[in-house]
Amino acid sequence: KYNMEKENLSVVLHSQGDLRLEQRPIPEPGPNEVLLQMHSVGICGSDVHFWQNGRIGDYVVKKPMVLGHEASGRVVKVGSAVKNLKEGDRVAVEPGVPREIDEFFKSGKYNLSPTIFFCATPPDDGNLCRFYKHSANFCYKLPDNVTYEEGALIEPLSVAIHACRRAGVTLGSSVLICGAGPIGLVCLLVAKAMGASQVVITDLSADRLVMAKELGADFPLTVKREDGPEELAKRVEGLLGAQPHITIECTGVESSVQTAIYATRPGGVVVLVGLGAAMTTVPLLNAALREVDIRGVFRYCNTQPNRNWSLFPKYPFIVHLNYIGRISIVL
């Protein structure tokens, strides 16, 4: 389909608001890498944020950067030392690759390594391009029943898996999810798959909550901007009959974080997934006196096993991912 020697059309962000389509050289895979012909790449909120603002927190676009990190593709070339993949394999890409075997890698928390490579996070290029090389150990074969589009959406699904693991969701957990955007909805799906008995999910948008109800939410709760955090917490308790064991906050909005803390039962867990302001006012004393644990989430790790794909048919939530507002670009 393509001139392999010349064509590697790439979406490149040069600076805030300056997004270009460019032809870039086709990379040569190293011994432990594979060259992929990309098929589907999702557009994440972080891609949009980098384009519109030129930065996310301390990550600043200082030189041209290829966007994209939610991706799947086909192996077209294999490095000399690669044993787990072959030409023609369909794979999902885990975009975060450790650069060194440091203490975080050794403890299984490689997502926290300060030197980690991560697609489309300055200064690392992403994979919204036609040809892209990646560590073979972080490419995972897709089974025949999973499409390329669904393969690309395993990346946002990984955020939800990591969040629910950090929260300790288990059989019988009651869960509040703040925000019914794409990440809130995948958190809903994963929480249910992990055994959550009741899930309340909140949002300003009634349309999003309709989708949440279709995906298994027990109590969709429409909120208004003027609603007070403590008032909302009481409404959540009223729906469940008790305060939830766990709250997963997916908006980053200050008032929503406050609601999350007030709503969670004593001894419970609040997991912060949404990214908001660098400094946020929260009722910390309330959380401390009730032993409510507040846990952060940074991307994910160990969420894409390359040995348990046979479990896919048992998890029907995978097939819903195309319908929750994520945009997938087919190259």
Cβ-contact 188, 209 below 8 angstroms: no
Task: Give the Cβ contact number of residue 98 at 10 Å.
Answer: 18
How confident is the model over 62-76, as a mean pLDDT?
Answer: 98
d(CA 179, CA 172): 22
Q: Are 273 and 299 in contact (CB under 8 A)?
A: no
Three-class SS state of 187 = helix
For residue 269, report the phi and psi dihedrals to the nearest 5 degrees: -130, 135
Give this prediction's pTM: 0.90
Residue 7's pLDDT band, with cuts at 50, 70 and 90, is: confident
Residues 80, 30 contacting (CB under 8 angstroms): no
Kindly report the average pLDDT of the chain as a whole number.
92
pLDDT more than 70, % of the chain:
90
The torsion angles phi and psi of 114, rounded to 5 degrees, stand at -65, -15
Tokens representing 20 are 């270009």
Q: Which residue has the tokens 């348990």?
A: 308
Helix (H) or strand (E) holding 40: strand 33-43
Instruction: Give the pLDDT score at 304.
Output: 84
